[in-house]
Amino acid sequence: MLGQALYLPWWYYRSRICGERRPLQTVLFVTDYCNLRCKHCMADGHACGTMKPYDQIRRELLDAWHEGARFVDFEGGEPTLWRDGNRRLNDLYRLAKQLGFYSGTLTTNGQRDFSDTLADAVWVSVDGYGAYHDAVRGAGTFARLDANIRASGHPALSVAMAVNRLNRPSVRALAEYARENPAIRSAAFNLHTPFPGTEDLTLSWEERCAVLDELIALKREGYPIMNSVPGLRIMKRRGFPKDCWVANYILVDGKRLSQCPGRVFGVCDDCGFCMAGEMYAVLRLKPETLLAGLKLRLPTGRGI
């Protein structure tokens, strides 16, 4: 904890004052095997061809640590499907801690039991309440994730919704679901980003701004929305300066990107990842955003 408390100000000083571009987080894709075929996902997101070997992941983690990253998020495909011989995803959390990462998180579609996870924090993708979620991810998927969320017992479990043209009416209902469900700590919202082949799900700019205003209003009403108001506000401004280098990406084919693949696809101006807004606000020391970020990083006693 002390190391983390000292490292973060040092990282900020080096980034903001010295102008270094050192990642703080690594998003590491461990497999492209997936148990769903979601409408917003590009085909290679579930190609089901690669389980990254443990030794490769170890090298990638080590390199990321040397570059500066201290937080890792394991993603897929569906990362809970990852395996290499007898090794399972929990071995990767143990490995990350051994190598010096402060925390490891899991991003899952919630279709499999994850109650034994050693992740410090869990993100379950929930794209609207009930039938809205099922319209994006398939019949029965909401009921399954709801059962797994309730059974998980994880103290740092949040849901994440990407708002698109199919589930847009369900924003308030999802916020209510997060508030009423004792197994959920908070809800984070993103807007659909028009990756190739998924453009038709994108909200118009007016709809997007209306959703962001609705989220700000819900937050003020006391709903447990993780996005900060400064972070939501900046997402209404097209072309705001992006600081996406804070998180680097290591793809399932081993390719390394200094920021998310959206840049490669040229979708940054229409980006819906609210993390872009949160990063903007964090680096400008917006108190509410800093507080939200700190809450995310507080130890829960659940990880390793």
Q: Which of 118, 211, 229, 260 binds ligand SF4 (CB under 6 A)?
A: 260
Task: List the one residue from 267, 281, 292, 296 that touches ligand SF4 (CB under 6 A).
Answer: 267
Beta bridge partners of 189: 161
Which stretch in 73-81, 110-118, 212-220, 268-276 sits in contact with ligand SF4 by CB under 6 A? Answer: 268-276
Binding of residue 259 to ligand SF4 (CB under 6 A)? yes
Phi, psi of 2 (to 5 degrees): -65, -45
How far is the C-alpha of 95 from the C-alpha of 128, rounded, in Å? 34
Q: Does 273 bind ligand SF4 (CB under 6 A)?
A: yes
Range list of H helices, the chain: 2-12, 54-67, 89-99, 131-137, 141-152, 171-180, 205-220, 229-234, 274-283, 287-297
Question: Residue 88 or 263: which CB sits closer to ligand SF4?
Answer: 263
Sole window of 203-211, 226-234, 262-270, 292-300 interacting with ligand SF4 (rule: CB under 6 A): 262-270
Q: Does 191 bind ligand SF4 (CB under 6 A)?
A: no
- Residue 238 tokens read as 């097209």
- Among 276, 282, 292, 296, the residue binding ligand SF4 under the rule CB under 6 A is 276
Nearest approach, Cβ of residue 189 and ligand SF4 (Å) = 14
Residue 272 beta carbon to ligand SF4: minimum distance, rounded to whole angstroms = 8
- End-to-end Cα distance, the chain: 13
Residue number with CB closer to ligand SF4 (119 or 235): 235
Closest CA to 136 of 112, 169, 105: 169
Number of residues located near ligand SF4, criterion CB under 6 A: 12
Binding test (CB under 6 A) with ligand SF4, winner from 52, 219, 242, 286: 242
Q: Distance between CA 166 and CA 139 in Å, rounded?
A: 14
Stretch that binds ligand SF4, among 70-78, 152-160, 172-180, 261-269 (CB under 6 A): 261-269
Most distant CA atoms of the chain, gap in Å: 51
Query: Cα–Cα–Cα angle for 50, 24, 159, nearest 5°?
Result: 65
Decide if 201 contacts 164 (C-beta within 8 A).
Answer: yes
Out of 88, 263, 297, 302, the residue judged to bind ligand SF4 by CB under 6 A: 263
Provide the binding-site residues for ligand SF4, judged by CB under 6 A. Answer: 193, 242, 244, 259-260, 262-263, 267-268, 271, 273, 276
